[in-house]
Every structure is written in structure tokens, then in C-alpha cells.
Structure 1
Amino acid sequence: MSSKKPLMTRIVIAFVLMTAVFSGLFSLSIVLIVHVVEEHLVTQGMQDELAAALHSLSAEHPLRLMPGTRLYSDGARFGKANIPARYADLEPGFTEVLKGGRAVYAFTKVLDGQRLVLVKEQDSFEARERTLFTVVLVGFVLTVLGALAFGWQVARRVMVPVTQLAKQVQTLDDPQMHLRPLAMDYAADEVGQLASAFDSAFSKIREMLEREQLFTGDVSHELRTPLMVVSTSCEVLRQTELTNEQLEQVVRIERVTLEMRNLVQTFLLLARGNSTEASSEERQDLAVIAERQYRYWQPAMADKGLAFDLVVEAEDSVGYNAVYLSRILFNLLQNAHRYTDFGEVRLTIGNGWLRVEDTGQPIPSAQHSAIFDLFFRGEGAVGDGLGLGLSLVKRICQAKGWSVEVSTKEPRGNCFLVRLAPA
């Protein structure tokens, strides 16, 4: 029995198979008993009838046989030799002989060197026997069908708590909100043990998430202060007299500091989930966020000799979480800039979606899913990245109910498509 079948189906199949085996054995035993009893009774009856016939012949009384019964012999003592060929070679005792498709019982006996064969038609007995066999067969089929119906009902009742537990587990969107133990709703049986196991697993997940949130929140808050100091210092430095080279370095520090602050803010929001602070973050139009990222990456693309275009195919007036969407665009454009050596990078936005295309080395189709895994770096990876950028993009999309997918362009390049839902 395949273990991939639903548990309810396996229970029904096991119940029906067990019933079919025992019912079949019982039916076969009835048939066997009827056959043995039939042979015994018929043998005894024909033996008595043959003895009565021989007694009548020895007393010179008229031979009287039951209707449908014939007596044959091969010697003159009991009449002329008249044994038909089909009965001539029968062994002494009871034998069932087929005659024209009908069963005939023959009892053979050798007396004083002469063979006697008593033949008896058994049409009525065979009819009753066929009726009995039909009843047994119908009973077997009805028993199996009854077992199927009964097994289905039993399986449904058995599976009720299992199905209920599965629905409870599936509806738990947030393990942190699962405070009431599932085991309280079930008896102390196997299902109750399974519910207790789920409770234990949810408890461990809840503790792990709480530790993660505390760690991420603490780290984010601790990093905000030094980043603010760096940013303020850069503003102060820009107000002083600096050479062009020094000013360029200050601007660079400001840009990196800003990205660090945005990254810290992203991790903080992800750690807090649907908290009040996360829901109150600034919302902006997709076009505004895309334009800001376009201006940010335009110099870097130009320095590498890449054409960089922003295409607006349709207006989108829905406000999105600026921190999350900025991080998605930043990581996708950073990935395109890092892995595109020549050609172009294009950022296209529409109503509820955005697309980043490049002419870099195509990502093998076998890695389209794996590239969003944490710490995954595909073949030909360059730079000092750790494989966190695309993983963070996927994590943000999962948190917001968005989706991200990648496809390969012909003849060269990749396309990342993000479908957005209203924040």
C-alpha cells in the first residue's frame, strides 16, 4: 500500500482488505465443507441404495430404484453386461462424472469378481448447490461493500481530530500569537501527543523569534547612534573648506552612511513585523522611490560604462513602504551593477510591479530558485558579497505579501520582476 495515499484512504483500504481476506476465507470454508459433506452423504446414500438393490436381486424381488437412478453390471449374475464405456474404468467408490455438461454421481463396487455401477442423476441437488454458491458469492460481495461503507465512516470519525488539528496548525499565521496550547482540545491519545508536539515546536519557534527580534532590535538601536554621529560629522565637514578630493571622500562617506542607516532600518522593521512603528513608516509612490534610486545609481553605472535607463510604463499612485521598496530596488540594482560588465541596465516600473533587466552573465535556470537563498552565491560570483542581497529581497517580499522572480533574457542577461501589493 502506497504511503503517499491520504491517511483516511489507507485506513479504508486496510479495513476493506482485512474484511475481504476473512470473508473470502469464510466463504471458501463454506464451499469446502459443503463439498465434503455432499461427498460423504451421497456416498453413504448410494452405498445403502446399492445394498438394497442387491438384496432385492438376491431375493428374486423386482428391482426398485429411486427415480433418476440406474444400475449397471458387467456379468450375467445381475443381468446382462451393460456398463457404458464412460463408467467402465471407474475406481471403486464414489465418483462425480460429467455427462453432457451435467454432473452425475456414480458408485462403483466389485462383488464376486463382477463390477457394479450405480449411477444417480443429481440435477436438483446441483441446483441447490449452485444456489448456495451464488448466495455465498453475493454475501461476500455485499460484505466487502459493507466494509467499504463502514470503513469510510469509521475513518471519517477517526480523522476528525487529525483534520481539526491540521486546520488549527495551518491557520496559525504567526507562531508568536499561539498562546493557548493545542493539546487542551484533545484527549490524551496519539492525536493529543501530536498536538503536544506542535505546542512544543511552536514554543521553541516563538522563543527563537523573540531572541531574534531582541537581538536585531538591540543591534539596530546601537548602530543608529554611531551612524548618526558619522552623518552629522559629514555635514559639519562639508561646511568647511575642503579640497575637491576631500569633498569627494566626504560625499562618499555620506552615501555609505545613508545606506547603512537604511539597511539598519530595514532589519529593524523586519524584526518587528507588523508592529505599530512598522505600520507608521513613510509611504511613497513607486515612481518617487524609483527616481531616487535611479539618481543614486546613475554615476556608478556611468563609471562602469553601462547604459542605465528608467522607464515608466504605467503610473502607480499606491503608496508603498519607502524603506522596504528602496531596499529592494537598491539590492536589485546593486546586483545588476556588480554582475554586468558591458551593455545596459534598465529599471522599468508599472502599475503594481517593477522590473530590473541587465545584460550580464545569464543565471542558469537550475539556480533561479536557489539565488534567493541565504548565503548562496552562484557560479562566476564576483566581489566581496556574502549572498545576502537577494535573500533580503525575498524576505521583504514575503513579509509584505509581494513576490519576486527571475528569468533569463535572450541572447544574454537576466530579468528580476517584483509584483507589489498595496502596503
Structure 2
Amino acid sequence: MSLRFQDRIALHYVLATAALVVAAYLVVFGVVRERVYTDLDQNLRFEAAKHMSELRVTASSIRFAHKGEWLEREHREVQVDPVFIQVNDLHGQLMDRSPNLKTDQLPFAAGPDWQQPRNVLLRGKALRQVQVPVRAPGGPVRGYLLAAISSEAAQHVLDSLALVLLGSLPVVLLGLFGSAQWLAGRSIAPIIQITETTNRITRNNLSERIALPPRPDELHTLASAINGLLHRIEQAVAREKQFTADASHELRTPLAVLKGTLEVLVRKPRRPEEYVADITRGIGEIDRLTYLVDQLLLLARFENHAKGLNQQELTVLTCVHDVLYRRRADLNAKHIRVDVQDGDTPAIVSDPYLVDLILDNVLANAVKYSPANSTITVGLEPVAGALRCTITDEGIGIKAEDLNKIFDPLYRSDALAHKEIGGTGLGLSIVAKACALLHITLAVRSELGRGTTFTLGFPL
């Protein structure tokens, strides 16, 4: 049978507490029993020592010297707790006994264990008995003095205590279980509230949040963590919606241009040079569409790229020169000067393809947004266990309010104001994901109209 979480907490609490209660009961019973028998044994040894002095020991017998006084005392006094005395020789033969024993005998054994106080029965009554060796003055052991007193009252106290403890145990456990259930119910009430709130949250209702408990405890931490998760999910869904809208727009534009160009071509016969111009325009749109799809696929592949990283030793300076060599046509066309400050640049261990992809996108943006006859500065220097690479341009810059959006897919800052500058808005998204995979720190600062600086921190 499956128990509720509340009942499991109560059950575990009761089991743990029951073990402690049973242990406490056993300790109480043991202490009381020890104390009761200690008092009995003290009285018993006192009586044995007192009657030992009344014995008359001869070579052939051991007798009580004043046995007649016992008979008179028995008639004069009412003995609530009588003392039974008996004398046996070394072979266990009865030599003498107190009158209150009448025809009965106390149990005897010659072993050393019987010299310690022990519980015996006489006429069905409980006694506490001790067996003391009797010696002749300066001689060997001649026999044993057996002394016994009633332990009925002590046994009654112990039986009553055991009954009370055993009877109270189920009551205590039931009370503990009820209290534990109530406390567990109160303890998990915030969890139930958290569950109900999360069940109400759907894709279309991600703005709702869990009410935080008043005390800063573990439940407060759990609720805060869930609220943080919901916030990240809400942001991810918002980015997904924005990405879907932007991607469909970006894909629809070249398709619409391509469709319009082909429709114009089929309306009427045209000269060959017109066909060539329109077909060339269509090919350009297909190339743009292909590049956009490739970039989208590259972004999608980053989700599982971490398992296939090709880590090897490489030099960032060499990667920078490789990218600049590929971009030489664009640099020459705008007469842009590149100043590479290559000081002491130690090697790093990373994925060459992704490092080249990061540098290519950042440098391509620097070239794209820099005016003619400007300078791009690339700095490399080891700083605090990392190789810091800064790429600074003198371009148009980025608005301060757009700096936290430029790494979102398909986002382009102030794109309408710079229609002449092409792009898909995916390059910096690819840079951000690649940096996250390679544990490269990424930062950007920019001043509108004066340029932008990207800072990459490659772990050494």
C-alpha cells in the first residue's frame, strides 16, 4: 500500500521516537529494578550477618545458640516481612533452621554462584536469598548459612511498573503519530501550495509566480529556485516566439523576391540580358536564403556540440591572422587598417573550428560596421590565467539599451537606420553559444558613433 508523503513523514518520526521511548522505558525499568534489589540485598546481608553471630559451631554440628528466643518473639510480634534462616553442612544436609520455616527448606546448592543474592520460591512465594559460608574460628568452612527475606512487595512494584510502561507505550505512540501527522501536514502545506501554483502555470500563463514563504528556510529556497526557473522559461519562450517571428520574416523576404522575379520573367518574352539580370538577382536571393538556413542549422547543432569538441593546442594569434587573410578583400575595399598588438601570446587548448568561428564573426562585424579609412585594433595579452583578446573598431556603435539584446537570434540593433549593411542577426548568437561551449568569457562595450569593443577571455 502506498502511503501519502505526510503519512510517511509521520511514520518515520514515530518509528524513530518509538525506539527512543522504548530505550527510555528500559532504562527506567532497569534503574528501578536495580534500586529495589539493591535495597533488598542490603537488608538480606544485614540479616545474614546478624544471625551469623548467633550460631554455635562445633566439630560435628552448627546450631542456633538462642533458638528459644525466636519462638517467644514469633508469638509476641507480627512479622510483616519475616526472615528465614537455615543452616546446611557442606553436603547440603539440614542442620538447623528458623522456626518460621516449619517443615520447609530453603533451596541449597554448593556452587559459588549461590553465594550471590538470587530469587527463589518458597510455598509459591517470591524470596530473595543469600548463602554465606560458616567457618569455625580460625578453621575451614563447616557449612552454610542461608538467609532469605520476602521479595513479594518488590516483585509487585516491578510488575506494576512493567504493566504501566507496556500499557502506556501504545498510547504514547498513537499520540505521537497523531501529533506527527498534524505537524507534517502543517510542514508540507507550503509544498501543496507550490504544487497547486505550478499546476496552474501553462505556456500561456508563465508570468504567475509562487508566493514565497515568510521565513527564509528550505521551502523559501525551493520556491525561489522554482520562480527563477519559471523566469528563465518565460524568457526562453519569449525568445523562441521572437525567433520564430524573425526567422519566418527573414525566410519570407528572399522567397518573396525570388517568386516576384520569376513571375516577372514568365509574363512575356524578354531580351537575353534581362533574363541574365533577373536570374542573377534570383541566384543572389537563393544564396542569401542558403546562408540564412546554414546559420540557423549551425545554431541548432550547438545544442549537442559539447559532446564532440575537438580540443587541441592552438595559437589565437594565428587564428586572428587566418581570419584577416580571408577578409582581406573587404578590408581593402574599405581601406581599413588592422593593428594587431601581438605581445606575449601563450598557446591555449580549445576547439580550432569554434575559435575560428568566434573570431570570424566578431571581426566580420567590425569590418562591416566600420567606416572607410578607419582602424580596427586587435589586442592579445595574458591576464589572470586567461588570454584576453580585445577587438576594437571605430564604427557606428551600439545603443546602450540594445547591448543586452545583440546576442539574441536574428536581432539587429537599429537595422532600419542602416539598410545598406547586410546581415541576418545570427552571427553574435553563434558567438555567444560557441563561447559558452568553450567556457570563453564574452563582454562588449560600445559608444554610439564612436565604436565597439568585444573582449574574449580564452582560458589557458
Using structure 2 for the length normalisation, give the TM-score. Answer: 0.45
Structure with greater Cα Rg: 2
Using structure 1 for the length normalisation, give the TM-score. Answer: 0.48
